Chain A
């Protein structure tokens, strides 16, 4: 028994265990959650990357070429590959969770979760195809 312990007559001496700083390492579901939170950083990175691209294009062909050279360097390439993996992870987990957040009703009946998720994936595919069509010059 330590010196600090003793009987408290009128009030129980509650124990308040503190949560470990490394709580997110103790369980796979927690670790996966932290990865998902971390993926937001890469989403932000791609916005910044896109702005750098726009800025380079606006300054002329030499600046654009410099941007392409920089993008082709090993460090930026690795960063973008890792970033893409995180962004895909972000998107997939987002769509997987969507049915929990959206209670869609059609004709008074609740639409099953997998249809809500599938419609999200479909919208993603259509939007991606639209962007690809624009970039590849399909509109010309």
Chain B
């Protein structure tokens, strides 16, 4: 195995450039180095002007998502040696505005995330004296998969629907809405449905399935969206058949 590998890193310096350009850096390539280690090496030893986000280095914080050889990846979980003999092309996540180099703008996702109320909504809180809201392991199992989302936005970068129509609420936000809808303690499904039953909500999804394929946490946002569609369709049918039960 080669001792070093070439990293072709996207650069965008708004004060100098109108487009993304690429710079090549030769970095060490030990077996245990991930792409993020290569970027840190460049930043520390070669070119301190390189900008990118990272934090935990263990696939929890979701901040180091980038496009590696055309695929959205967590760079802390993507080994350099797997791309031997190189070069490895590192670009910012697709479908987001680029602020600088590998840093993308997150505002759109953050606004959409809040719009689906990803927290437990109660019609009425019970008094503290009555204790916690208890759950069985089965009730936890209903939503646990969707609660693993780390907001890394790889799913948005992989989603052609979001790329073509930025008003689409998007995979992670819908999966997180589903996470709370399926939570036995939550009573906010109807409120979320008002947002997600719009055209830019679940019906914008055409089930390409790329979001699920790239998800580093096996959340399966595509499945969450289709389940949501099914639930919504059944609710609509019920409201016709049993109008007295409609909310």
A19 to B105: give the CA distance in the assembly, Å. Answer: 17
Contact B18 A5 (CB under 8 A): yes
A17 interface contact, C-beta 8 A: yes
Known A-B contacts A37-B206, A100-B226; A17 and B15 likewise in contact (beta carbons under 8 Å): no
B209 interface contact, C-beta 8 A: yes
Q: Which residues of B contact A5 (CB under 8 A)?
A: 14-18
Contacting residue for B223 out of A1, A6, A100, A108, CB 8 A: A100
Q: Chain A 107-122, CB within 8 Å of chain B: the 1/0 string?
A: 0100000000000000
Q: Chain B 210-247, CB within 8 Å of chain A: the 1/0 string?
A: 10110000001011001101100000000000000000
Q: Which residues of A contact B20 (CB under 8 A)?
A: 15, 17
Contact B14 A24 (CB under 8 A): no
Known A-B contacts A100-B212, A100-B220; A6 and B15 likewise in contact (beta carbons under 8 Å): yes
Contact A8 B14 (CB under 8 A): yes
A102 to B220: give the CA distance in the assembly, Å. Answer: 13
Q: Which residues of A contact B229 (CB under 8 A)?
A: 101
Contacting residue for A13 out of B14, B95, B210, CB 8 A: B14
Q: Which residues of A contact B84 (CB under 8 A)?
A: none
Smallest CB separation, B157 vs chain A (Å): 11
Contact B14 A97 (CB under 8 A): no
Known A-B contacts A14-B98, A17-B94; A23 and B18 likewise in contact (beta carbons under 8 Å): no
Contact B230 A14 (CB under 8 A): no
The number of inter-chain residue pairs (CB within 8 angstroms) is: 74
Q: Which residues of B contact A97 (CB under 8 A)?
A: 207, 209, 226
Which size class do B's interface residues fall under? 20 to 34
Known A-B contacts A19-B95, A103-B227; A14 and B164 likewise in contact (beta carbons under 8 Å): no
Smallest CB separation, B96 vs chain A (Å): 9
A65 to B176: give the CA distance in the assembly, Å. Answer: 58
Q: Which residues of A contact B94 (CB under 8 A)?
A: 17, 19
Chain B residues 73-100 with CB under 8 Å of chain A are 94-95, 97-100
Q: Which residues of A contact B19 (CB under 8 A)?
A: 15
Q: Which residues of A contact B105 (CB under 8 A)?
A: 14
Contacting residue for B163 out of A2, A8, A14, A23, CB 8 A: A23
Contact A33 B14 (CB under 8 A): no
Contact A29 B18 (CB under 8 A): no
Contact A1 B209 (CB under 8 A): no
Contacting residue for A29 out of B98, B209, B227, CB 8 A: B209
Contact B208 A12 (CB under 8 A): no
Task: Across the interface, name the chain A residue whose C-beta is closest to B163.
Answer: A19
B23 interface contact, C-beta 8 A: no
Most chain A Cβ neighbours within 10 Å, of B20, B223, B229: B223
Smallest CB separation, A29 vs chain B (Å): 6
Smallest CB separation, A47 vs chain B (Å): 21
Contact B208 A29 (CB under 8 A): yes
Q: Chain B 1-29, CB within 8 Å of chain A: the 1/0 string?
A: 00000000000101111111000000000
Contact A4 B18 (CB under 8 A): yes
Contact A12 B99 (CB under 8 A): yes
Q: Which residues of A contact B99 (CB under 8 A)?
A: 12, 14
Task: Across the interface, name the chain B residue whose C-beta is closest to A24.
Answer: B160
Smallest CB separation, A98 vs chain B (Å): 9
Smallest CB separation, B107 vs chain A (Å): 10
A-B contact sample (6 more), CB < 8 A, given A8-B15, A100-B222, A101-B223? A15-B12, A15-B18, A29-B210, A33-B208, A97-B226, A100-B226
Instruction: Give the interface of B toward A (CB within 8 A).
Output: 12, 14-20, 94-95, 97-100, 105, 138, 160, 163-164, 206-210, 212-213, 220, 222-223, 226-227, 229-230
